Structure 1
Amino acid sequence: MVAQIPISVAALVRDGLVLLVHRHPLRLRYPDCWDLVGGHVESGESSHQAVSRECLEELGVRVHDPVPIPMTISDPNLDMHAFLVTRWDGEPVNAAPEEHDDLRWFQPRDLADLKLAHPASLSSILTAIQIATG
């Protein structure tokens, strides 16, 4: 059996909206679809450290107090670690245009109509929005 690839992702939530990034159509894995920001957990790095690093590298923001949330995905090759983020410094921008060609804030009602990298994660993302909005 192949070892799972550890991945950390963040659901940035503000004013009832969630930020998603659109994966570049030329990406090898999950091209041309919407996803949470994040990426591989590097050797010697915790999932918490990875999500903070990824948000800085890909969005240019410093996150505060990422809260672990359950994340359901259907890819057995990935060990997914998801975090809810409601506080950060800076305004998110596409700081990794080679990885993403767009980023947008979405209403929860619009998520089901999107082509998501991990469609099974939809309920987890909606739960994160509910938690964030109280």
Structure 2
Amino acid sequence: MAARIQISVAALVRDGLVLLVHRSPSRLVYPDCWDLVGGHVEPGEVPQQAVRRECLEEIGVDIHDPVRIPRVVSDSALEMHTFVVTRWDGEPVNAAPEEHDDLRWFRPSELAELKLAHPTSLPSLLSGLPR
């Protein structure tokens, strides 16, 4: 059995809203859909280091105190490490335009209207986030 791909993602939460990035239509994996900020855990990293690096690379923010929350995704090839983040330095911007073509803040109730990378786990995960 092949090793599962390690992925770390962050749910940045502010004023009851969550930040999602829109994956570019040209992406090979999960194209043209909304998802949390994040990516692969690199060799030698732990998931918490990876999510900090990914937030800095993709949206230009330095996150503080990421809190791991349980999440199961339907893709059995992935091991998803999901963190809630309520404190960071900087204002999120699209610092990785080759990966994302948009980023926006959403209310959890708006997610049902979106094309999501992981539609079975993301709405339920976000419905319980801090306000």
Encode CA deviations 1:46-72: one digit per residue, 9 max, x unaligned: 000000000000000000000001112
Query: In the alignment, what sits opposite 1:126?
Result: 127
Query: In the alignment, what sits opposite 1:86?
Result: 86
User: How many Å separate the matches in 1 of 2:45 and 2:120?
Assistant: 26
User: How many Å separate the matches in 2 of 1:10 and 1:92?
Assistant: 12
User: How many Å separate the matches in 2 of 1:112 and 1:83?
Assistant: 21
TM-score under structure 2 normalisation? 0.97
In structure 2, runs of 5+ residues without a counterpart are none
Is the CA contact (8 Å cut-off) linking 1:17 and 1:105 kept in structure 2? yes
Does residue 56 (structure 1) correspond to residue 56 (structure 2)? The answer is yes
Between stretches 17-26 and 106-115, larger displacement belongs to: 106-115
Task: Tell me the number of residue pairs that the alignment of Structure 1 and Structure 2 aligns.
Answer: 130
Question: What secondary structure is seen at the aligned counterpart in 2 of 1:51?
Answer: helix
Query: In the alignment, what sits opposite 2:70?
Result: 70
The one-letter code matched in structure 2 to 1:123 is: S
TM-score under structure 1 normalisation? 0.95
User: How many Å separate the matches in 1 of 2:126 and 2:96?
Assistant: 22
Does residue 15 (structure 1) correspond to residue 2 (structure 2)? The answer is no
Encode CA deviations 1:77-128: one digit per residue, 9 max, x unaligned: 000000000000000000000000000000111011111001122211222x
Question: What secondary structure is seen at the aligned counterpart in 2 of 1:120?
Answer: coil
User: How many Å separate the matches in 1 of 2:126 and 2:8?
Assistant: 14
Which has a greater percent of helix?
1
**Root-mean-square deviation (CA), in Å?**
0.7
User: How many Å separate the matches in 2 of 1:21 and 1:54?
Assistant: 12
Which aligned runs of 4 or more in structure 1 are off by greater than 2 angstroms? Answer: none
The one-letter code matched in structure 2 to 1:4 is: R
Question: What secondary structure is seen at the aligned counterpart in 1 of 2:120?
Answer: helix
